[in-house]
Homo-oligomer: A and B are copies of this chain.
């Protein structure tokens, strides 16, 4: 029922399903099975970059640009650190409000809440919901900084790295990480002093990377003023170009396969942790512990026995 409503594009049903992901609900198993035949259509774009570059504004402007060409757009704002659920976070994101009444746009924030599987577990499942709800494009934006950003970006087909003028230090700090994951680079706030310098520095640092063959993708460096909606059409153009390039040479399949493998692994690991907890609470684990304490068993042999116990569910 909820799945049918979500597929029909009802925002409330979509929100409910993503809440189930956020809460790691046991019913997800059934939900994902029902969604499976209806996924695989959406193009997933990750947006990342240091704080202060205007990520939220850029995401909103990119939604407008995609809406202008008639695409249905999903936005997933992921907060790896917040213990609060989507609603509160979303309330702050004034920039997004302009899309609140547009039925062709789904906007959802998701906190990882530190549950068992973490972001690697939750993000791909939330993407599945938006995908099955008929989104042509899904923008994944991380709130916060650090390793988790890169993790979330790895869930995308194409990753956009945002910078802003005067963030030379930011580039240094972000170092290799950010320079390796970008497919498209955007210098936002390009009306400010130093935009040209930032773009040049970025270009220089990218050129220091591994040399690329003639057929490889050379990440473009674009300039935007997201607050005024300037330069976003060029970003959309670059994204479509990258998507076509990936589709033509098999990179898209490769990335999606890698992503799905990571997703399966995250779900399996969460399941194993849960089974292990069940086994460890049981009498079997007490028996193992007693034998170790008596010195008749070592912890590795005990772990082997515990793993054998897992296979029995």
Contacts and interface: CB of A to CB of B under 8 A. Distances in A.
A8 interface: no
Specify which of A38, A298, A299 lies most central, judged by the most chain B CB atoms within 10 Å of its CB. A299
B306 A37 contact: no
Interface in A249-289: 253, 256-257, 260-261, 263-265, 267-269, 271-273, 276-277, 280, 285-286, 288-289
Contacts of A33: 298, 300-301
A292 B260 contact: yes
Question: Interface residues of A: mostly helix, strand, loop or mixed?
Answer: helix
A264 B299 contact: yes
A301 B292 CA distance: 36
A246 interface: no
Contacts of A268: 276, 303-304, 306-307, 310
Interface residues of A, number: 53
B257 A290 contact: yes
Contacts of A272: 269, 272, 307, 310
A280 B307 contact: no
A208 interface: no
A82 to B, nearest CB: 17
A90 to B, nearest CB: 26
Contacts of A265: 276-277, 280, 303, 306
A35 B300 CA distance: 12
A295 to B, nearest CB: 5
A39 B302 CA distance: 15
A35 B286 contact: no
20 contacts: A35-B298, A36-B292, A36-B298, A38-B295, A124-B299, A256-B293, A257-B289, A260-B289, A261-B289, A263-B292, A264-B289, A264-B299, A264-B306, A265-B276, A265-B280, A267-B299, A267-B300, A267-B303, A268-B304, A269-B272
